[in-house]
């Protein structure tokens, strides 16, 4: 197999040069906020925000002069952003008003919505086989007790997650808490960047080619649904919440100036301490929150955010670019002084509970091998596929941790030439080791996805709970997940313990 780093996206799009977007021609766009439709108070006195989201087909203006048909939450690409405080609960009514069949690929559009980064009861987790057909809706309940973080919601429909997410079914969900409010930039200086890649057919529609279920590498890089945008920034510290929402591509972001950026949070929120790095490896579904200090640059200067993992720049391949920042003069001295505490790089952050875990706390160690026997064969985890789980009538579980147990899970990548971003539902974990050494500085924070590179082995520590039930583990290269690199584990369910929150029997 070909190492993905050398796969060229050459000619992935079939657009003519007039229609192909030019890097740094598009203006920066901030995903639309989603206001609650109503609020209520539940029996425990907690505020509950009620949101409504409708999945539908829409035309998006991604390219300069052609419309692109997308499938979007509220018809948006990316979907609307939910933003709330820790302790505020959320009920999200997700309506499936998609066409019955995918407009281009023909499969049935039955969806399941996963909030990535939330510990919910299994029936609200977006379990892959718990699908809502077109014409139906489902209410998802989210408790929001976890530390502040950047979450995202995306489709998880069995077998077609890759196409659905690629077509636009992904959005952000930002949770704040008092610790994070105090430490990190807020409001206009707290900026989400949803990075994805795409390829286009000559009529402007999205092209889909997952190269024999290996992965899709588009030749157009999108940030918040715009190709290689330019954002105007003031000469001060900004916080970027960077989500890699690409279905397969990983990035190695870096600044064109060669200056360091400051990583302050990972998937599960604040790290114990800021880590300053010149670049980092950013796999699908991972979130890195990064502070960039633009105060050392002059107004008029352009700073690019580049992608080191594709050094090729053949023909029309600009996947070595992500976006650019144009430094502008600050509006006034007084505006700069508004929030001096956010205009610096903090050193010590917050110790999320999971970061205290040690190897000695674990009562069990489990190992998972991820691989594929050959091209055309399914991707497996310990030789198990999601097909096997379906065939067992959802009985087959690859791990049975006790509720509240601390365990060490090891993932070893045996599939030559491929990397696998492994995601475990329900829990945050700490990376204990990578190839027997300390994890990279930028991944020393709470995580729910871990990049397992070619030939690599990682060890993770995690604590299971607070909910019993069945949850999934899978590769977040979504064509791998769909074919069929996904298994399930059962938390706190003994042999004869019925699962009252069974996601399958909760399906409509
Ligand atoms: Cu982001 Cu199970 O997925
Ligand atoms: Cu994979």
The mean pLDDT value of the chain amounts to 93
- CA–centroid distance, 236 to ligand 1, in Å, is 34
Claim to verify: residue 192 and residue 316 sit in the same structural domain = yes
**Rg of the chain, C-alpha, whole Å:** 22
For 447-468, what is the mean pLDDT? 96
Percent of the chain with pLDDT over 90: 85
Range name among 18-22, 209-213, 441-445 with the lowest pLDDT average: 209-213
- 141, two tokens: 């309940």
Percent of the chain with pLDDT over 70: 94
User: Phi first, then psi: what are they for 5, rounded to 5°?
Assistant: -65, -20
For 273-293, what is the mean pLDDT? 98
143, 177, 211 - which closes a domain:
177
pLDDT of residue 317: 83
Give the residue among 21, 61, 20, 25 at the shortest CA–CA distance from 326: 25
Q: How far apart are CA 296 and CA 66, in angstroms?
A: 39
Q: What is the DSSP letter of 329?
A: -
Q: How confident is the model at residue 339 (pLDDT cuts 50, 70, 90)?
A: low
Residue 49, classed as helix, strand or coil, is strand
Q: How far apart are CA 246 and CA 372, in angstroms?
A: 21
- 365, two tokens: 């160690």
Does the beta carbon of 241 lie inside 6 Å of ligand 1? no
Maximum distance among all Cα pairs of the chain, rounded to whole angstroms: 67
Q: Which ligand is nearest to the CA of 483?
A: 2
Claim to verify: residue 63 and residue 198 sit in the same structural domain = no
Residue 48 covered by a domain: yes
Residue 507 has pLDDT above 90, yes or no: no
pLDDT of residue 330: 82
Give the residue among 326, 357, 334 at the shortest CA–CA distance from 462: 357
Claim to verify: residue 36 and residue 171 sit in the same structural domain = yes
CA terminus-to-terminus distance, the chain: 41
For the CA of 152, the closest atom of ligand 1 is: 1
Does the beta carbon of 154 lie inside 6 Å of ligand 1? yes
Does the beta carbon of 116 lie inside 6 Å of ligand 1? yes
Q: Which ligand is nearest to the CA of 112?
A: 1
Residue 13 has pLDDT above 60, yes or no: yes
- CA–centroid distance, 42 to ligand 2, in Å, is 41
Residue 472 has pLDDT above 90, yes or no: yes
- CA–centroid distance, 381 to ligand 2, in Å, is 10
Does the beta carbon of 447 lie inside 6 Å of ligand 1? no
Does the beta carbon of 213 lie inside 6 Å of ligand 1? no
Distances (CA, A) of 470 to 388, 395, 426, 460, 496: 15, 10, 9, 20, 14
Residue 502 covered by a domain: no
Claim to verify: residue 337 and residue 373 sit in the same structural domain = no
Angle (CA) 398 399 403, round 5°: 150
Claim to verify: residue 312 and residue 364 sit in the same structural domain = no
For the CA of 126, the closest atom of ligand 1 is: 2
pLDDT of residue 50: 98
Q: How confident is the model at residue 215 (pLDDT cuts 50, 70, 90)?
A: very high
- Residue 67 near residue 19 (C-beta atoms within 8 A): no
pLDDT of residue 313: 60
Q: How far apart are CA 371 and CA 288, in angstroms?
A: 26
Residue 4 covered by a domain: no
Tell me which residue has tokens 């070909």: 2
Claim to verify: residue 338 and residue 358 sit in the same structural domain = no
Residue 115 covered by a domain: yes
For 147-157, what is the mean pLDDT? 98
Kindly provide the residue ranges of all beta strands, DSSP E only, lying in 119-218, ordered along the sequence: 137-142, 149-155, 170-176, 190-200, 206-207
Q: How far apart are CA 233 and CA 95, in angstroms?
A: 37
88-125 pLDDT per residue, tens: 999 999 999 999 999 888 999 999 999 999 999 999 99
Range name among 293-297, 313-317, 452-456 with the lowest pLDDT average: 313-317
Chain centroid to Cα 103, Å, comes to 25
pLDDT of residue 2: 40
CATH (domain of 327): 2.60.40.420
Q: Which ligand is nearest to the CA of 162?
A: 1
Residue 138 has pLDDT above 80, yes or no: yes
Does the beta carbon of 474 lie inside 6 Å of ligand 1? yes
Claim to verify: residue 148 and residue 20 sit in the same structural domain = yes
For 144-152, what is the mean pLDDT? 97
Give the residue among 121, 29, 46 at the shortest CA–CA distance from 499: 121
- Residue 434 near residue 413 (C-beta atoms within 8 A): no
> Per-residue b/e over 276-308, b at no fewer than 16 CB within 10 Å?
ebebbbbbbbbbbbbbbbbeebeeeeebbbbbe
Does the beta carbon of 287 lie inside 6 Å of ligand 1? no
Claim to verify: residue 135 and residue 230 sit in the same structural domain = no
Claim to verify: residue 150 and residue 53 sit in the same structural domain = yes
pLDDT of residue 4: 45
Residue 462 has pLDDT above 50, yes or no: yes
Residue 7 covered by a domain: no
pLDDT of residue 506: 57
Claim to verify: residue 285 and residue 409 sit in the same structural domain = no
Does the beta carbon of 472 lie inside 6 Å of ligand 1? yes
- 282, two tokens: 């950013």
Residue 44 has pLDDT above 50, yes or no: yes
Residue 344: how many other CB atoms lie within 10 Å: 13
Q: What is the DSSP letter of 279?
A: B
Residue 454 has pLDDT above 60, yes or no: yes
Nearest CA, atom 3, ligand 1: 116
Is ipTM beyond 0.95? yes
Quickly list H helices, 338-463: 386-391
Residue 364 has pLDDT above 80, yes or no: yes
Q: How far apart are CA 371 and CA 69, in angstroms?
A: 35
The domain of 171 spans 14-177
Query: What is the edge-to-edge ordering of all strands in the sheet holding 406-413?
Result: 379-381, 364-372, 406-413, 457-463, 429-434
For 144-168, what is the mean pLDDT? 97
Residue 415 has pLDDT above 90, yes or no: no
Residue 10: how many other CB atoms lie within 10 Å: 12
Give me the number of domains the chain comprises.
Answer: 3
Q: How far apart are CA 27 and CA 324, in angstroms?
A: 10
Nearest CA, atom 1, ligand 1: 116
- CA–centroid distance, 248 to ligand 2, in Å, is 8
- Residue 135, sorted as left (phi over 0), alpha (psi -120 to 50) or beta, turns out to be left
Residue 6 covered by a domain: no
Claim to verify: residue 318 and residue 370 sit in the same structural domain = no
Residue 230 has pLDDT above 70, yes or no: yes
Q: What is the DSSP letter of 108?
A: B
327-338 pLDDT per residue, tens: 999 877 655 555
Residue 328 covered by a domain: yes
Does the beta carbon of 425 lie inside 6 Å of ligand 1? yes
pLDDT of residue 1: 39
pLDDT of residue 500: 85
Residue 372 has pLDDT above 90, yes or no: no
Range name among 5-9, 311-315, 425-429 with the lowest pLDDT average: 5-9
Q: How far apart are CA 415 and CA 400, in angstroms?
A: 26
Q: Which ligand is nearest to the CA of 125?
A: 1
115, 142, 177 - which closes a domain:
177
Q: How far apart are CA 267 and CA 271, in angstroms?
A: 10
- CA–centroid distance, 425 to ligand 1, in Å, is 7
Claim to verify: residue 198 and residue 162 sit in the same structural domain = no
Does the beta carbon of 242 lie inside 6 Å of ligand 1? no
Q: What is the pTM of this model?
A: 0.96
Quickly list H helices, 343-428: 386-391
Residue 266 covered by a domain: yes
Does the beta carbon of 114 lie inside 6 Å of ligand 1? yes
Q: Which ligand is nearest to the CA of 372?
A: 2
312, 342, 372 - which closes a domain:
342
- CA–centroid distance, 125 to ligand 1, in Å, is 9
pLDDT of residue 311: 65
Residue 9 has pLDDT above 60, yes or no: no
């Amino acid at each position: 197999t070909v190492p993905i780093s050398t796969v060229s996206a050459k000619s992935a799009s079939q657009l003519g040069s007039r229609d192909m977007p030019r890097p740094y021609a598009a203006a920066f766009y901030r995903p639309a906020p989603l206001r609650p439709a109503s609020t209520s108070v539940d029996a425990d006195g907690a505020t509950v925000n009620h949101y409504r989201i409708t999945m539908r087909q829409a035309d998006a203006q991604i390219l300069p002069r052609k419309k692109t048909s997308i499938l979007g939450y509220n018809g948006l690409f990316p979907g609307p952003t939910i933003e709330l405080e820790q302790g505020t609960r959320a009920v999200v009514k997700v309506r499936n008003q998609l066409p019955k069949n995918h407009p281009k690929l023909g499969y049935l559009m039955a969806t399941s919505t996963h909030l990535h980064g939330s510990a919910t009861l299994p029936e609200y987790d977006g379990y892959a086989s718990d699908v809502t057909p077109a014409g139906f809706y489902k209410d998802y309940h989210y408790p929001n007790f976890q530390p502040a973080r950047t979450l995202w919601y995306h489709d998880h429909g069995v077998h077609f997650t890759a196409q659905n997410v690629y077509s636009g079914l992904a959005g952000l969900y930002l949770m704040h808490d008092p610790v994070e409010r105090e430490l990190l930039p807020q409001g206009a200086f707290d900026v989400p960047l949803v990075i994805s890649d795409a390829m286009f057919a000559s009529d402007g529609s999205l092209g889909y080619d997952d190269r024999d279920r290996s992965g899709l590498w588009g030749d157009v890089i999108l940030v918040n649904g715009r190709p290689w945008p330019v954002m105007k920034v003031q000469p001060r510290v900004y916080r970027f919440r960077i989500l890699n929402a690409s279905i397969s591509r990983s990035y190695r972001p870096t600044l064109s100036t060669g200056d360091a950026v400051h990583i302050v949070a990972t998937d599960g929120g604040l790290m114990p301490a800021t880590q300053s790095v010149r670049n980092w490896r950013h796999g699908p579904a991972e979130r890195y929150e990064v502070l960039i200090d633009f105060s050392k640059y002059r107004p008029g200067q352009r700073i690019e955010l580049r992608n080191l993992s594709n050094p090729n720049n053949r023909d029309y391949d600009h996947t070595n670019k992500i976006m650019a920042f144009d430094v502008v003069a600050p509006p006034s001295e007084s505006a700069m002084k508004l929030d001096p505490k956010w205009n610096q790089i903090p050193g010590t952050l917050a110790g999320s509970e999971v970061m205290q875990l040690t190897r000695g706390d674990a009562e069990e160690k489990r190992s998972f091998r991820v691989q594929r026997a050959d091209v055309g064969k399914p991707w497996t985890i310990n030789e198990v596929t999601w097909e096997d789980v379906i065939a067992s009538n959802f009985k087959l579980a690859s791990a049975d941790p006790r509720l509240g147990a601390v365990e060490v899970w090891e993932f070893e990548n045996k599939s030559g030439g491929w990397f696998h971003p492994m995601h475990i539902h329900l829990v945050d974990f700490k990376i204990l080791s990578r190839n027997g050494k300390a994890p990279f500085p930028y991944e020393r924070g709470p995580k729910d996805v871990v990049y397992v590179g070619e030939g690599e082995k990682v060890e993770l520590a995690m604590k299971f709970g607070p909910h019993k039930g069945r949850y999934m583990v899978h590769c977040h290269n979504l064509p791998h997940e769909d074919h069929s690199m996904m298994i399930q584990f059962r938390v706190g369910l003994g042999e004869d313990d019925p699962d009252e929150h069974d996601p399958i029997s909760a399906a409509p």
